[in-house]
Structure 1
Amino acid sequence: MKIVTPTYRLCRKLCSLTTFVRYLTASQASEALRPFYFAVHPDFFGQHPKERAVNEESLQRLSNYLENLYGTGIASPTTVKFYLRGQGSNAKNTAQNTENHVTVYTQAVTIKLFSQDVQSTVSQILRTCHLKTDHLKSLVKKGAHRSQVYSRPIKWDHTYYAYANKQKPGDATPPARSKQTLESWLTKNRQRALRRLEKSQLIRDDADNLRSELCNRYHLRDIRWESDWNIGAFRMSLSSFRKILEENPSYALYIRDKELIFGSITGICKEGFILLSNESVPQYWSRVLEHLPNAAPQMNLLLTMEGELSGYLGNAVISHEKYFHRITIEDYAILLKKMLSSFKVYHLSRRRWKEGRVILPNSMTDLKIIVEGIIGHLAVTTSGQLVVPASTQPQNVINFLVQNKEKCLQKVNNYPRLQANRKRLFAQCIKNYNLRSLEVDVSLTEDQVNNGLNRLIDNKLPLSVSMQDLRIRISRYYTVLRDGEVYIPWDLHIT
């Protein structure tokens, strides 16, 4: 008996399409994603109905995304969640053994789909799931030299050559590709954004009321939303959180005077905030809230480790501030231990004295250092803080501190002026266009944000009507979310 699943339908749809995008055909994309389908196929999750349902829905969304890429070449950025099956013990979540069944280990992954070509999308999916991409290179190379599928030449409409920036047969020179402008994009999408804003307004008001109620009733300092999901997911998260507190009154004492952030991870972050992932089940939230009293000793241990690390770095301040991603105290402790181990070995080695890499005590007290993840590069933030990945060799860290000390101090002194200027730009943009809200993506740098704000301010006249009453987020691409929020790129072209 043939079982028709979302995976089967996705493969059929891919194989029925014949257009080419970046030298990767539909059948080649299906072949490249075969290891991925094998890891997420719903039929393998018969004992886990929740994971099966999530995978079925996500496969359907992925199918629609790829269909749009092959059909129009444009797909709205989205996020999909999958549960991967495996046979390793290092997966995040494991299912228990059941009689006459093989143990199935599952790991939840979130895939952000934003690329506008199939090859990059397939590569992103495989890399996010930690699957090999070697076979993808051979498929791309094969597709690049593939002969014409059709027996006769195809004559496309002139708009295709203009959009794809390709030369039309018979033309002497290729046409220049027109750039997407904010004015033209808003002309097409403004009404759609306003309709979605109107539909989601009741949900937004309900979320605001729930947020205020929880803060006042349980004496929370603040509740923030740091997720890519829409306002409906925020309201559901707040409702689930309230239900947990009503069922467990003792948690009220644990969360008093704390700050709560709904984001992509669950735990306690190094800044001391409570982190709850909107993708986790409420039972997992309960376990985190139950163990909140144990966070204080862990935070004290982190302070001790930071003090020891600071001693190797001229008594520089080890800052708890977030640079890019939130990180739990357990993961942060691992990073600190790794750095301390490296510095202890280096401190006792003769190489340190031979190379002259020595930082005198109290010579770096004016500097702040942010310890980041294992992978990354040394950097100086706009506020004058030094970002140090935990895997960096001690001699490189020391050299970087010595060479950039003056630069950091200059940025520290200049940062208050930059903050005041940024607030002024925000206020001016909101006033000029009568916006409902204006926010920025966390992945943007200070310079990119200021660049985008200045472009909006310098072009008030052409956009004075089309921007009114919108909720704008400065990001890296154009899109309208389901709740009506409008994403625009920071390097936008106005007209």
Structure 2
Amino acid sequence: MFTRVLSNLSRSQINGAHSCFNFKVIPSVTTVRQLTQAQTSEALRPFLFAVHPDFFGKYPKERAINEHSLKQLFAYIDGLKQRGNVSPTHLTFYLRNQQHKEPEKPPAEQPKPTEPTPPRAVNISLLGNDIFSTVSHVLKSCDISTNHVKQSSSPHHDFYRPIEWHHTYYTYTAKRNPFEGYPPSKPDVTLRYFLRRNIPKARKHLHLSSQCRDEAQSHEKRLITNLQLCNISWQSSWNVSAYRTCLKALDRLCQSNKSVAENLKGRHVVFGNRSMLGCDGSIRLSSEDVPQQWQMFLSTLPRWLTMLDEVALLEEHFSKLLGGCRVDKSDPILSRTPVEEHCQCLQKVISSIQRYYHTRHGKQQAIRIPPGRLKEVRVTLYNHSRILDISDFGLIQIGVQSNPEDIVHFLMDRGVTAREMRKQKEWDVKAEEDICRNCQEELDLSSLTKDITITTEQMISCCTRITRNPLALGVTMNDLRLHVTKYFSVLKDGEICLPWDWKE
């Protein structure tokens, strides 16, 4: 119903008055032509742009009058639709002033701002006996084109809305019509075009950051040797200068605090976005923390390390309970899970399955997986989830909130499929390593890496296309650092980022 359209319109006090121009034109249409509700709404759209109360915030009187008149207009149309005959109605509307957007001028030539003129009033007499003539009369009284109404008057055809009538909206709002002089869309950036324009910039940044990178590598080797670390990794979005700063800070901290250095012995240190002990045993330090925060965390590390022993026992229990399948923590995203969260996941799954086996229904009908049946199957656990699926890497994904009966059945039904997929994925990873090594040697790159979101298939496709015809790139890429991701960019340390699906 049209009366519902304006049910939310605000009300305001009436003050002031303006001159009115009277229009009393009796439509000469005698044939009955109907419009559907959707067609009527579309036909009156330009009229609403001119009289809607929301555009009359500075004119409370005109706002209130337009609100009342619109309600009467839609009630009149509703009466025509329901009964076909209604009493004549006389309405008054205030139209917004047309705002013409003029070309910009220099500041010296800008005209002085003028006071806005008040809205003009239009009196409309509704005497028609059908919706089509009523809508046409309203539009004509407000000097609005009715071409789009005439072309859509037949009820046997879909309502046609030509694009030219949109000018009403842009006339009253002074906004730019995007269909007039719309600039052509930018062509896709090709790899050849991007490299030719950005390699000089990348080489310049590489040269400026070369000393910083050499210092970072030197600090990294010294820390690994002095602290007897397994490895040091950088998994932060910051550049190499931030990495060097973190290495220096860790070196100073270990020199001043021998207990911290002892806690790190034999561990894999990862600089990331959070300080924690990972479920894979790696010690992660936030690159955004200060050394004092690292010291507080590392001083409590022995307590967290004891949880690794508890995790190992839980994983062994989990394996015996579910036919020998093992929990896999090699996934780059899953490896960032805190050890305490991983421990909770194991406890939830084990408790859930044990309770199920000891229920009356479980004792009678539960399928118990034979020992060693799923020996080569690998699973990953997800907290606060009910997922049961196989990942692209052939890992069975188990949400700890899943039904224990569903977990057992899924492992029995899909275990063999997951094992075959994982074996195939291992071959794909080896092929990826060979192709990346060949690509790095072919282009004489300093390094070739990929983002954590890039799959093995995407990396293989990217490197294969580059090495297919390196001369077609039109540039030499020796000693450059290439990072495959999903966008083009040149980082501050000179690393070139390119999308895996680059255009030729």
* TM superposition score category, shorter chain reference: 0.5 to 0.7
Q: Conserved in 2, the CA contact under 8 Å of 1:433 and 1:465?
A: no
Instruction: Write the letter of the residue equivalent to 1:278.
Output: S
Matches within 5 A, 1:364-443: 364-375=374-385, 377-381=387-391, 383-443=393-453
State the match for 1:311 in structure 2.
320
Alignment equivalent of 1:331, drawn from 341, 350, 357: 341
8 Å CA contact 1:324–1:443 kept in 2: the answer is no
Would the alpha carbon gap of residues 153 and 404 (structure 1) be closer, same or farther in structure 2, given more than 3 Å must change?
closer
1:345 counterpart residue number: 355
SS in structure 2 at match of 1:162: coil
480, 483, 488: which one pairs with 2:498? 488
Q: Are residues 1:257 and 2:266 paired?
A: yes
Identity %: 25
1:433–1:464 CA contact under 8 A, matched in 2: no
2:54 paired residue number: none
Counterpart in 2 of 1:30?
none
1:189 aligned onto 2:213:
no
CA–CA separation in structure 1 for the residues paired with 2:480 and 2:427: 29
1:95-128 per-residue CA deviation (whole Å, 9 max, x = no partner) reads xxxxxxxxxxxxxxxxxxxxxxxxxxxxxxxxxx
SS at match of 1:488: strand
Query: Which residue of 1 is the match for residue 482 of structure 2?
Result: 472
RMSD of aligned Cα (Å): 2.5
User: Is the contact between residue 482 and residue 497 of structure 2 (CA under 8 Å) also seen in structure 1?
Assistant: yes
Q: Which residue of 1 aligns with 2:302?
A: 293
Sort the Cα spacing of 1:252 and 1:387 in 2 relative to 1 into closer, same or farther, 3 A.
same
Change (3 A) 1:198 1:396: farther
1:11-31 CA-to-partner distances (Å, cap 9, x unmatched) read xxxxxxxxxxxxxxxxxxxxx
Count of paired positions: 334
TM-superposed deviation, 1:210: 0.7
**Residue 255 of structure 2: SS of its match in structure 1?**
helix
1:268 — aligned with what?
A: 277
1:36-185 correspondence runs (5 A): 147-148=169-170, 149-150=173-174, 153=177, 160-163=183-186, 178-185=187-194
Pair 304,487 (structure 1): closer, same or farther in 2 beyond 3 Å = same
Q: 1:338 to 1:200 in 2, by over 3 A?
A: same
SS at match of 1:185: helix
* Uncovered stretches (5+) of structure 2, i.e. residues with no partner: 1-167
Q: For residues 107-153 of structure 1, what are the alpha-carbon distances to aligned partners after superposition, in whole Å with 9 as ceiling and x for unaligned?
A: xxxxxxxxxxxxxxxxxxxxxxxxxxxxxxxxxxxxxxx95442564
**Equivalent position amino acid for 2:202 in 1:** A
CA drift at 1:420? 2.8
* Equivalent position to 1:444, from 451, 454, 466: 454
**Are the aligned partners of 1:321 and 1:370 in contact in 2 as well (CA < 8 Å)?**
no
* Partner Cα separation in structure 1 for residue 474 and residue 443 of structure 2: 6
Q: For residue 250 of structure 1, report the CA deviation from its aligned partner.
A: 2.3
Point out the structure with max Rg over C-alpha. 2
Deviation per CA, 1:256-289: give whole Å up to 9, x if none.
2211111122121111111111012222211222
Distance 2:286 2:368 in 1: 43
Relative distance call for 1:449 and 1:403 in structure 2 (3 A) is farther
Identify if the C-alpha distance between structure 1 residues 464 and 154 changes in structure 2 by more than 3 Å, giving closer, same or farther. closer
Matched, 1:359 2:382: no
1:34-55 deviation per Cα after TM superposition (whole angstroms, max 9, x unaligned): xxxxxxxxxxxxxxxxxxxxxx
Distance 1:350 1:426, change over 3 A: same
CA distance in 2, matches of 1:151, 1:475: 38
Structure 1 unmatched ranges of 5 or more: 1-145, 164-177
Alpha-carbon displacement from aligned partner over 1:177-204 (angstroms, at most 9, x marks no partner)? x322211122222222111111111111
Q: Counterparts of 1:492 and 1:151 in 2: how far apart (Å)?
A: 37
Q: CA deviation at 1:446?
A: 1.7
Q: Look up the match of 2:40.
A: none
Amino acid of the residue matched to residue 465 of structure 1?
A: V
Q: For 1:408-439, what per-residue CA distance to the aligned partner results, in whole angstroms no more than 9, with x for missing partners?
A: 33234434432331121011111121111100
Please say if residues 190 and 502 of structure 2, whose CA atoms lie closer than 8 Å, have aligned partners that are also in contact: yes
Aligned-partner Cα distance in 2 for 1:489–1:355: 52
2:288 is aligned to 279
The question of whether the paired residues in 1 share the 8 Å contact of 2:231 and 2:269 is answered with: yes
> In 2, Cα distance between the equivalents of 1:271 and 1:220?
15
Higher mean displacement: 269-278 or 291-300: 291-300
Secondary structure of the corresponding residue to residue 402 of structure 2? coil
Which residue of structure 1 lines up, in the alignment, with residue 216 of structure 2? 207
| One-letter amino acid matched to 1:431 | E
Distance in 1 of aligned mates of 2:386 and 2:338: 18
Using structure 1 for the length normalisation, give the TM-score.
Answer: 0.62
- 1:313–1:152: structure 2 CA closer, same or farther, 3 Å change rule? closer
Which of the numbers 196, 221, 228 marks the counterpart of 2:237? 228
**C-alpha distance after superposition, 1:176-235 (max 9, x if no partner):** xx3222111222222221111111111111111110111111111211111121111111
The residue that corresponds to 1:456 in the other structure is 466
**AA aligned opposite 2:184:** Y
Q: Distance in 1 between matches of 2:369 and 2:446?
A: 51
Residues 161 and 369 of structure 1, relative CA distance in 2, 3 Å threshold: same
Counterpart of 1:228, as a letter, is S
The 10-residue stretch of structure 1 (259-268 or 402-411) with the greater mean CA deviation from structure 2: 402-411
Q: Which amino acid in 1 is paired with 2:174?
A: Y
SS in 1 for 2:284: strand
Aligned to 1:90: none
In the alignment, the residues of structure 2 paired with residue 379 and residue 456 of structure 1 have an alpha-carbon distance, to the nearest angstrom, of 34
Change (3 A) 1:454 1:279: same
